[in-house]
Chains A and B, each alone.
Chain A
């Protein structure tokens, strides 16, 4: 089976010099591609989870009775929403990377940062998407009827209790479509981690087509399809989730 596939692509590369699907017959390039895919999936999962957590916590803090907390959240949103994610990545990795603690390597010269480039990519992309998520959840929270919240208050719920047990479960359902959009965007934005040399899918693909110019079109094609599939999986999952959480008579059915 594998033999047929490799010989097919070898033949294809022979017949059409611009369509050299090298990674389908050269195992080194194949593992490079797989490695990149794994990193992209890792970045996606980590950033999606972290950014949703940031969104939920941020939206909670946004409703804080303390003015300085609200201002802090607002400042965070403005900073991260109004600057390009690529610039944030470079800033985090090169500027903040200088002042974060490092461990001196065994050779006495190299300094291994506590936060690697992958770490910085996860942090910066999560904060970027998180700032949008805060606003998305705020919109959801505002959609929860005032009377519902008052009812919770009158039953003696604390602010935290009513947020966790009442407001958020309802707000979450309203927020899901917008959240879905933002997370799709986030997955696509992980490719920008190439700027700080995170070996994700785009990084490996650029490497492959630089080493083998004849593999340019095939690699771009594969890249394209992988992202369609990755984003497709996320969207399908989110839709399923949306459906399973639907409350009859609440929100769009």
Chain B
């Protein structure tokens, strides 16, 4: 009888998914799993140049892959990279399909309720559009009522819809969305300014421009399971990011991958500077 009611309570608790948050002390399940199997499974992007993408031989490369590799090297474990998308990265982590992810995610309040986002943030980006030079947009307001291609899972789709009445046509992948823009099915492609910047720099989008002021600058965060954010895993990742900032590693990677230098990283580097170093 007692067993039955415990089983029932567990079932209800599992159904409503508050087990992880209700238990205060650390079990470090995922951390221990990573250590005992000698492998960490990290979700990364595969279609987001230059943070995570496939190079000509099909292997995953990019700034976030370098970060992931460094995590593995520091832990002394093997790294398995799993390509994730904006619309499934949090679910993969929750289901245990990945142990953590570094996948260009903007650090948002509602996302922190689902996954653990250890501080500090490692990058930042704002929202902007890529649009044809021929249309010469100058203001966000000019997009009202127009069809703008977007990517499913981006948080700013909602913001620009509500703020400017833009009609977002959201595709599952970046490639499809950008193809639709080239096919002139929409007047612009709304995305992270950093990614658009690197697309424009690649020379494949000569007849396009990034004409507007970026909006909603939002720092990025990597993620660990929510239950382990205040435990070993989360604390360890905080240390990793802190070190990347302090040592200037992030700025170096930024340079290596041809990303426009950001004030965000320079400021962090300055603030976290070791006072004993010259």
Contact = CB atoms under 8 A, between A and B. Distances in A.
B195 to A, nearest CB: 17
Nearest to B142: A107
B135 A107 contact: yes
A217 B91 CA distance: 11
B170 A203 contact: yes
How would you classify the secondary structure of chain B's contact residues: helix, strand, loop or mixed?
A: mixed
A109 B87 contact: no
B111 A213 contact: yes
Interface residues of B, number: 35
Contacts of A113: 185
B91 A216 contact: yes
A191 interface: no
A82 interface: no
B170 A207 contact: yes
A16 B16 contact: yes
Interface string B79-98: 00000001100110000000
Contacts of B16: 16, 18-19
A142 interface: no
A212 B110 CA distance: 7
B18 A213 contact: no
Nearest to B91: A216
Given A107-B187, A194-B172, A210 B86 contact: yes
Contacts of A102: 184
B157 A207 contact: yes
Contacts of A90: 176
Enumerate the 10 nearest inter-chain pairs by beta-carbon distance, A residue then B residue, closest first. Answer: A111-B184, A18-B17, A211-B158, A210-B153, A213-B114, A197-B169, A16-B16, A109-B134, A197-B171, A109-B135
Interface of A: 16-19, 90, 94, 97-98, 102, 107-111, 113, 117, 194-197, 203, 206-207, 210-214, 216-217
